[in-house]
Amino acid sequence: MNPRLSALLLVGCTDQALVRFNAEPEATILAPVTGDVVIEGQTLALRGQAADANDGAKELATTWFAGD
């Protein structure tokens, strides 16, 4: 093996732990709530909110997935 590559591999590999710089965002479903009756075929309004300690609401991107 090339001595330069060996030195690079040794320098590039460390046992230092990863540090998290950004808090995980929190998502909350506001509607429907537990106990609401949902009837198949009728329109259902979904409401939720997302929060992140590091970014404002305008910087967050959210996506809803329903069904399969």
What percentage of residues in the chain have a pLDDT greater than 90? 22
3 is a domain residue: no
43 is a domain residue: yes
Q: What is the pLDDT of residue 30?
A: 94
52 is a domain residue: yes
Residue 25's pLDDT band (cuts 50, 70, 90) = confident
11 is a domain residue: no
Residue 51's pLDDT band (cuts 50, 70, 90) = confident
**Does the model's pTM come out above 0.85?**
no
Structural domain for 45, as ranges: 22-60
Of 46, 26, 49, 28, whose CA–CA distance to 36 is shortest?
Answer: 46
CA gap 29, 11 in Å, rounded: 46
2 is a domain residue: no
44 is a domain residue: yes
41 is a domain residue: yes
Total of domains in the chain? 1
CA gap 45, 40 in Å, rounded: 13
45 is a domain residue: yes
Tokens of 40: 């198949």
To the nearest 10°, report the CA torsion of 42, 29, 60, 22.
Answer: -150
